[in-house]
Structure 1
């Protein structure tokens, strides 16, 4: 499983073999069952998670107790609650597997250690964070500028794997729709 992380790093930067080995030695491998949580609201987020296999969602419960999906993650993505992980605060998010999964997780202290000792691994995480920020910014822009149908079509165009792997109610929550509205859009798209 660490091969997928190593390959992902090498897509973006060129660390020495020692830097990669040092980094990989700091991660912990964990098998996760469907519906299992790797983070629950009210706890502290102590790890940044690299998804080697599987699909996850991060969500919170609004004041009415309705789940609101914030993000998804699949293979070769990093997923965490940045606020809790960086600021050591209690999380308001839940992160849950939607299918069988394997994660490689690294603690904040181990990540800080490797970032101080490896310019290339530091650069890798900067690039990953930039990509996350760009994706979040685009999502916000799309949600404000596109109709519901346009938003779904744009999401489908850039993320077709999620449409197949994620239950409709989760996808609807992520896009800010009701499941019924999403069902109407999908039916229209099929016809």
Structure 2
């Protein structure tokens, strides 16, 4: 049951079989179709979402009315609007499935209870947040230090299988490119 979820957690902390059963009391599995929303602008993010299978995107609508993707999440990745989640305020973001997905949700209101019962989960989430924050810092550096073409090549080298799974217009949005320019880069770099 939820092999990716349990295995991922066990990469960072130890959990006995009894502790796994305790953890499973705090999760809510979700089976979602393609293009289903977990969060929409103006709603409060109520859970932290782990991708057991499938792919998610987080985006906002900019002042021109265009979707701007800020993050993707594949298998074994977490996704939430952390400001909305921790402050319980309205979100400016949408979280949507790109393909059918199996998601594991940990409700914000139950998270502290989980940490009380399994203190090592707090360590796990600290590690996840540190990794996510480090990735965000690196992304900002790349966007400021490298050309759009260098950013594209770097992303493709890091996530080659992912690039095949998402529509080209979404990858263009995430990388700050036009779909036309991305098409030129794909032709140029194979």
Normalised TM-score (structure 1):
0.96
Q: How well do the aligned residues superpose, as a CA RMSD in angstroms?
A: 1.0
Match of 2:151 in 1: 151
Asked whether the 8 Å contact 1:15–1:121 carries over to 2, the reply is no
Match of 1:96 in 2: 96
- Cα distance, 1:102 vs. partner? 0.7
- Cα distance, 1:93 vs. partner? 0.4
Match of 1:83 in 2: 83
Superposed CA offset, 1:121-145 (max 9, x none):
1111111111111111111100100
Counterpart-to-counterpart distance in 1, 2:130 and 2:63? 31
Match of 1:36 in 2: 36
Unaligned runs of 5+ in 2: none
Unaligned runs of 5+ in 1: none
Counterpart-to-counterpart distance in 2, 1:2 and 1:113? 21
Superposed, 1:29-178 pairs within 5 Å as 29-178=29-178
Secondary structure of the corresponding residue to residue 91 of structure 1: coil
- Cα distance, 1:182 vs. partner? 0.8
> How many pairs does the alignment contain?
190
Superposed CA offset, 1:130-168 (max 9, x none):
111111111110010011111001101111122111101
